[in-house]
Every structure is written in structure tokens, then in C-alpha cells.
Amino acid sequence: MSDDRPTGWGGDPVSPPHLQDVMEAADRIEGLVVRTPLMRMHSYEAGADIYLKPEVLQPVGSFKIRGVGNWALSLTEEERRRGMATTSAGNTAIALGHMAGSSACRRDHMSLTLSTSRNGNRFWPMAWIWSMSR
């Protein structure tokens, strides 16, 4: 198997992260995310165990806070000054709104621009207001 795999959008090939990158990301987002349990359930129909990772327990209700949080906390000082932006109709927008309300981003006076559709996730306005009021 090649280390380079094409992206879903036909962009430049991407390589899987190195273990050191994963460990650094875990350190960066510690305290930002919930350490969710791995839950084992038995499927009698399949005759096998199924393992669930309930990312709905995250403060934004999805796993997106992991990637968005790691990205936001990895920005350089210059990048932080320029702010954050996303076009999203769902969980990425919620996670970015949560990050904008975090103490790390407020400390650096990061701005946030969100572009979303009216048909997006019905919960994101509540998450946005909650994040910005913290």
C-alpha cells in the first residue's frame, strides 16, 4: 500500500499522519475534548462484538471538535491574527464556533467568519450563541 492516497476531491495526494503527529495533536486538544469511552456491544444478529465510540458526548455533539480544535490550536501567531473562516452547514461550523469561544482563541483575539445555509444543522445557532457567550 502506498503512503500517498488521493483526497476525496481529487487534490494533491495526502499521506497518513505519523504517530508523533497524532501524539502532538492529542496533547494540543487535551482539556478541549472529552475522552470518550470505547463501548463494547454484542450483535446477536451478526454474531460478533461491535465497538462504539460515542462522540456525541463531545461539547459540540460530534467528533469534529477534534480536528477543528487541533487545527485552530496549531495556527501560527500570524495565522491567528488573520482569523478563522468556514463554509459549513453543520458540525464543522458548530466546532469552529466553539473554538472561537474558547479561552485560547479569545486570548489571541481571533475573529471568526461563518458562512452557512438556511437548511443547515438546526442546532448550530444555539451552539454558536452558547460558544460566544462563554
What the block records as the C-alpha cell of 21 is: 503527529
Q: Which of 101, 97, 103, 108 is nearest to 133 (CA)?
A: 101
Q: What residue segments make up the domains of the chain, in order of their start? A: 19-133
How is the chain split among helix, strand and coil, in percent rounded to 5? 40, 15, 40
**What is the chain's mean pLDDT, rounded?**
78
Model pTM above 0.75: no
**Across 17-31, average pLDDT:** 93
3-class secondary-structure state, position 92: helix
Rounded CA separation 114/50 (Å): 37
CATH, range 19-133: 3.40.50
Instruction: Quick: pLDDT tens for 70-110.
Output: 998 888 878 877 888 777 777 888 888 888 877 767 666 77
Percent of the chain at pLDDT exceeding 90: 34
> pLDDT-derived band of residue 130, with 50, 70 and 90 as boundaries?
very low
Instruction: Quick: pLDDT tens for 104-124.
Output: 676 667 777 776 665 555 555
